[in-house]
A = this chain, B = another copy of it.
Amino acid sequence: MILTGNAVIGQSGGPSAAINATLSGVVKAAMAHCEIKEIYGAKHGIVGIMNEDFVNLREILTTEECFFNLECTPAAALGSCRYRLPPIAESEIYEKIFSVFKKYDIRFVFLIGGNDSMDTVAKLSAYAETTDYEIRIVGVPKTIDNDLKETDHTPGFGSAAKYVATTVSEIARDCSVYVIPAVTIVEIMGRDAGWLAASAAIPRLYGQMAADLVYLPEEPFDYDCFIDDIVEIQKTKPNVVVAVSEGIKDSHGRYVGDGTQSGMVDNFGHKYLAGAGKILENYVRRRIGCKVRSIELSLPQRCSGHLLSKCDIEESILVGKEAVTLAAKGERGIIPVFKREDCNEYKIRIVPVPIEAVANKIRNVDCKYINERGNNVTDDFLRFLAPLIEGEVEIPKIHGVPKHFEIK
Contact = CB atoms under 8 A, between A and B. Distances in A.
Contact of A206 (B176, B392, B398): B398
A318 interface: no
A386 interface: yes
B404 A169 contact: yes
Contacts of A399: 205-206, 386, 389-390
A209 B398 CA distance: 13
Contacts of A205: 399
A203 interface: yes
Contacts of A75: 170, 173-174, 176-177
Interface residues of A, number: 59
Interface in A381-408: 386, 389-392, 397-404
Given A298-B295, A400-B392, A401-B206, A74 B305 contact: no
A249 interface: no
Contacts of A177: 11, 15, 44, 75-76, 79-80
A73 interface: yes
B398 A170 contact: no
Contacts of A309: 400
Interface stretch (A26-34, A59-67, A160-168, A321-329): A160-168
Contacts of A73: 173
Interface in A292-316: 293, 295-296, 298-300, 302-307, 309
Interface in A42-60: 44
B400 A171 contact: no
B389 A208 contact: no
Contacts of A11: 177
Of the listed residues A15, A173, A207, A293, the one surrounded by the most CB atoms of chain B closer than 10 A to its CB is A173
A30 to B, nearest CB: 22
B300 A171 contact: yes
Nearest to A304: B170
B203 A170 contact: no
A202 B305 CA distance: 17
Interface string A192-209: 000000000011011111
A81 interface: yes
A185 B127 CA distance: 42
Interface string A141-174: 0000000000000000000001001110111011
B15 A174 contact: yes
A174 B303 contact: yes
Nearest to A309: B400
6 contacts: A73-B173, A79-B179, A166-B402, A170-B305, A170-B306, A295-B296
Report the 3 A-B pairs with minimum CB-CB distance, sorted nearest first: A174-B303, A389-B400, A80-B177
Interface of A: 11, 15, 44, 73-76, 79-82, 162, 165-167, 169-171, 173-179, 184, 202-203, 205-209, 293, 295-296, 298-300, 302-307, 309, 386, 389-392, 397-404
Given A74-B174, A170-B305, A309-B400, 17 more contacts: A44-B177, A73-B173, A76-B177, A79-B178, A166-B306, A170-B306, A174-B299, A174-B303, A184-B299, A208-B402, A293-B298, A295-B299, A296-B296, A296-B298, A389-B399, A390-B399, A392-B397
